[in-house]
Structure 1
Amino acid sequence: MKYISTRGKSPKLNFSEVLLTGLAPDGGLYLPETYPRFSDEDLSHMRSMSYQDLAFFIFQKFIDDVPADNLKAIVNKAYASDVYSFGRLEQKAEDITPTLKLKDNLFLLSLSNGPTLAFKDIAMQFLGHMFEYVLDKNGESLNILGATSGDTGPAAEYAMRGKKGVRVFMLSPHSTMSPFQAAQMYSLMDDNIFNIAIKGVFDDCQDIVKAVSNDLSFKDKYKIGAVNSINWGRILAQIVYYFKGYFDVTSNNREKVDFTVPTGNFGNICAGHIAREMGLPINHLIVATNENDVLDEFFRTGNYEPRSSEETFQTSSPSMDISKASNFERFIFDLLGRDSNLLRQYWGNIDKGGSFKLDDTSFQKIKNYGFISSSSKHINRIDFIRSVYNDFNTIIDTHTADGIKAALDHIKNIPMLVLETALPIKFEKSVFEAIGVYPERPFELKDLELMDQRFEVFNSDTEQVKNFIINNS
């Protein structure tokens, strides 16, 4: 299996090379040359697998440069049941991503039982072990540079803390995350973890990561890697739970399902798109946005117009406060028939702060990929947290509430799975506003915000971040 850049001007790489490279040298994102396709017989075989076996079966289709025994060991460590011991008491940790039925045809795919209580753990635990394996095998080290709007950062740092050969430099928007999210990151004192709070919004952080990654001489000299969902390894790991969720709510491979995905950087739902391309019988992929509804506007009109930092709202679902979705480029590449020349024309405008509008033919092709969308506001989140609690005795977080709202906007007479973003304790203030009680915390996290914190505060300045990496490498 070889990987190509969406922009068509970088060499083909194998999986381990893509893992360490992150952003392609031409500024594009890596994707497999072709997507493997599962037959009905394959799906029947996969249906009874454990999560670990399912992940191994899927990963083997994409990773052919890691011996099977080593890959199996990595998968078993990443998805050990004791790593996923938080979450709802009635669910079994060995399920890794249990499915909770709310009512007929409406399900919650629980993705937040990992160590940082967010869906990002599912991919990050795999990446942490895979990074350590590849770096040790090659005798190399890596400086991981990432950006977070709230959940990627903690998940990456908990997965990478103490790992040999890895240092993590994580950028986050200053004073916009929930206190719980900030405390998860900033309370880590491991020698290989560095937190940098940027005066700005998530898009400013993401722009710095891309600027550093596009400085090829600096990237090479200081061994800069990526842990954001621009890294293909993140997308690959997220494909698995679409298959797991599908098998949980269907009895045969002729049934179709819908998935609703709270969407910020488009990585999570991009994994769903790829699962669909691999033969999973997905009817619709519903993009759920908040007030930062650039993607909702695109899927309704074909016009993609990212907003400036000043035009990006700070909301009660902060992990979705993103106006420039990095992984969107992967989908557009497929939508355009993998025409790198056309993709570069479109993204030339985006990289310069502009926009693009699809022609009518390309816009109509969106239907072929099953995408539809919806948006919501704070009052919707509060209403849906309250109604899910009252109707189903289940507490959800604000982002998942965005997903429930979008799901109910589009639900039909087939199973609808809403992908959970995080456990509600990460957004207690909004939960309390909705239902008048705070969600119960695990004992070991009761005083998290009271722990000492360590972080730097920088302006939105690429050179300042580079100098910090130099001084701490």
Structure 2
Amino acid sequence: MRYISTRGQSEPRDFSDVLLTGLAEDGGLFMPAAWPERSAAEWRALRDLPYAELAAVVIHPFVGDALSLETLRGLCARAYAGFDHPARVPLVQLDDGVWVQELFHGPTLAFKDLALQLLGLLFEHVLAERDETMTIVGATSGDTGSAAIEACRDRERIKIAILHPDGRTSEVQRRQMTTVHSPNVFNIAVAGTFDDCQDMVKGLFADPKFRSEMRLSAVNSINWARIAAQIPYYVASALALGAPDREVAFAVPTGNFGNVLAAWAARRMGLPISRLVIGSNRNDILTRFLSANDMTAHGVEPSLSPSMDIQVSSNFERLLFELVDRDASATLALMQAFRSTGRMPVPDAAWKKATSLFRGMALDDRQTEAAIRRIHETTGYLADPHTAIGIEAARVAGVAPVVAMATAHPAKFPDAVERATGIRPSLPPRLAHLMSGTERFTRAPNDLAAVETLLRAFVHRNSTELNEPWGTAA
């Protein structure tokens, strides 16, 4: 399998190179040069596989010759062994035609674990084969950071630095990052929004000298391996509900577009997905695009669903590339226009292609709390704010069956859930220490040079310092 950049100015790469490179040198995102597809008979043959085995089989065509299927099976088995639920990604029926797929049974209680637990092992495997080290840099709006840290902590060949918007995550989300005291982990609280953090990560990669010196790689969903590792749970739920002999729809709460893009990729591989509904909060750029071809970035507003507080959805570039028939020059021009003006002039033909499959729906904070309350009163299900938005999106899909993706455990957002339902969800016992642990992170201005200085100091510590946690105790 070879990969090309959405902007057409980087050399094609294999899976291992894409895994370690993350963002393409031209600023674009890597995509498969050709899509693997499966016949109906091949999908049926996957129906009875345990999740780890299913994941290996679904992901392997994207890996190509970089890893054998046997090796990938072993890595998937290790990645998902620690999940709390034996089904890993269980389905729960809410009412007639509406299901929830719970993606939060991993170590950090969020869907990001399903990709990042595997990515940590993939990084380790490829780096050992090449006898190399690297520095992972990521931006998080809440859940990616803790999942990435959990996957990469204490690994000898990896240092990991995560940027989060200071004061704009839930306390549980922040503490899941900042109470990890592993010496290869560095948390940076940036005075800005998630979009600022994401721009900063892209800026780090855009500096060739710094990128080479630090041996940078990405853990955000700009890394194609993240998308590939999210495809299997869509396959699992679709097969459980009758695919390929029955169409299935999905409703996905999303901010950076990576999760729903994985569903689109499953459809591109031949899975019969009839509709994809995007759930947004007050930061509703994706909903505005789908309803009126209005891709205009506004200021990011804090909300009850902070993982979706995003206006620049990086993975939309991958869909855009497909919507303009893989025209890299057109993709580059549209992305440059968006960067310079804050508005993306998507051609009508491309927009109509998107709306033939995608729908959008947005809830503000008041509506989100009302949704949490209504869902609990009518079904008994306790949903976090992101999942509640996904469930409400499922109700406007207009087709059945539809699966809403439960992306986080309600205990990650206890205040919002308690206000809506009167019930304060508890963290699992294994995370009971979280609220009393000492936090370590470093605050930084919204300034690329300042962050580069911090990262350089982190990466170039001497050997005696490597045994100590990095950052300032809070």
- 2:251 and 2:397 in contact (8 A); partners too: no
- 2:371 paired residue number: 384
Structure 2 counterpart of 1:54: 54
Q: Please state how far the C-alpha of 1:435 moved relative to its aligned partner.
A: 0.7
Q: 2:162 aligns with which of 167, 170, 179?
A: 170
Q: CA deviation at 1:353?
A: 4.4
Match of residue 463 from structure 1: 449
| Partner secondary structure for residue 60 of structure 1 | helix
Amino acid in the other structure paired with 1:462:
L
Alpha-carbon offset, residue 389 of structure 1: 1.4
Question: Match for residue 336 of structure 2?
Answer: 348
TM-superposed CA distance for 1:51, in Å, is: 0.8
| 1:98 aligned residue | 90
| Distance in structure 2 (CA, Å) of the matches to 1:121 and 1:360 | 37
Corresponding residue number in structure 2 for 1:277: 268
Amino acid at match of 2:69: A
CA separation in 1, counterparts of 2:344 and 2:430? Answer: 48
> Which residue does 2:100 correspond to in 1?
108
Q: Residues 387-433 of structure 1: CA distance to partner in whole angstroms, max 9, x if unpaired?
A: 22122222110001111111112343x10100111000000000010
Contact 2:115-2:229 within 8 A present in 1 as well: yes
CA distance in 1, matches of 2:430, 2:57: 35
Amino acid at match of 1:178: S
Secondary structure, in 3 states, of the residue corresponding to 1:156? helix
What SS class does the counterpart of residue 429 from structure 1 fall into? helix
Q: Helix, strand or coil: the match of 2:94?
A: strand
Compute the TM-score of the two structures, normalised by the length of structure 1. 0.95
- Residue identity in the other structure for 2:50: S
Deviation of the 1:267 alpha carbon = 0.3
Residue of structure 1 equivalent to 2:10: 10
Kindly report the root-mean-square deviation, in angstroms, between the aligned alpha carbons of the 2 structures.
1.1
The equivalent residue for 1:255 is 246
**Aligned mates of 1:10, 1:219 — CA distance in 2:** 15
Which residue number in structure 2 is paired with residue 88 of structure 1? Answer: none
Give the aligned residue type for 1:430.
A
What is the distance in 2 between the residues matched to 1:180 and 1:354? Answer: 32
Give secondary structure in 2 for the equivalent of 1:55: helix
Which residue in 1 is equivalent to 2:27?
27
**1 CA distance for matches of 2:69 and 2:284?**
42
**Counterpart for residue 139 of structure 1:** 131
Separation in 2, partners of 1:288, 1:223: 36
The separation in 1 between residues aligned to 2:157 and 2:228, in whole angstroms, is 23
Task: Measure, in 2, the Cα distance between the counterparts of 1:253 and 1:77.
Answer: 28
Q: Distance in 2 between matches of 1:262 and 1:130?
A: 27
Question: What amino acid does structure 2 have at the position aligned with 1:211?
Answer: G
Q: How does 1:404-415 map to 2 (within 5 A)?
A: 404-412=391-399, 414-415=400-401
State whether structure 2 residue 289 is matched by structure 1 residue 302.
Answer: no
Is the partner of 1:46 in helix, strand or coil?
Answer: coil
Q: Does 2:324 align with 1:336?
A: yes
SS at match of 2:197: helix
Counterpart of 1:36?
36
Number of aligned residues: 458
Structure 2 residue aligned with 1:90: none
For residue 310 of structure 2, what is the aligned residue in structure 1?
322
**Distance in 1 separating the partners of 2:150 and 2:104:** 14
Do residues 222 (structure 1) and 223 (structure 2) align?
no
Structure 1 residue 95 displacement after superposition: 1.0
For residues 413-424 of structure 1, what are the structure 2 equivalents within 5 Å?
414-424=400-410
SS for the counterpart of 1:261 is strand
CA distance in structure 1 between the partners assigned to 2:409 and 2:342 by the alignment: 36
Distance 1:67 1:256 in 2: 32
Alpha-carbon offset, residue 69 of structure 1: 2.7
Partners of 1:451 and 1:387 lie apart in 2 by 35
Q: Is the CA contact (8 Å cut-off) linking 1:289 and 1:402 kept in structure 2? A: yes
Give, as a single letter, the amino acid of the residue that structure 1 aligns with 2:251: T
Which of 186, 189, 209 aligns to 1:194? It is 186
| Displacement after TM superposition at 1:355 (Å) | 1.3
CA distance in 2, matches of 1:395, 1:367: 31
Q: Residue 444 of structure 1: CA displacement?
A: 2.8
Q: Could you tell me whether the CA contact under 8 Å between 1:332 and 1:343 is conserved in 2?
A: yes
Stretches of structure 1 lacking an aligned partner (at least 5 in a row): 86-92
Distance across 2 between alignment mates of 1:205 and 1:253: 40
Is the Cα–Cα contact under 8 Å of residues 380 and 405 in structure 1 kept in the other structure? Answer: no
Shift of 1:447: 4.0
1:53 shift after superposition: 1.5
**For residues 347 and 323 of structure 2, what CA distance do their matches in structure 1 show?**
12
For 1:265 and 1:353, the matched residues in 2 are separated by: 19
Shift of 1:442: 1.4
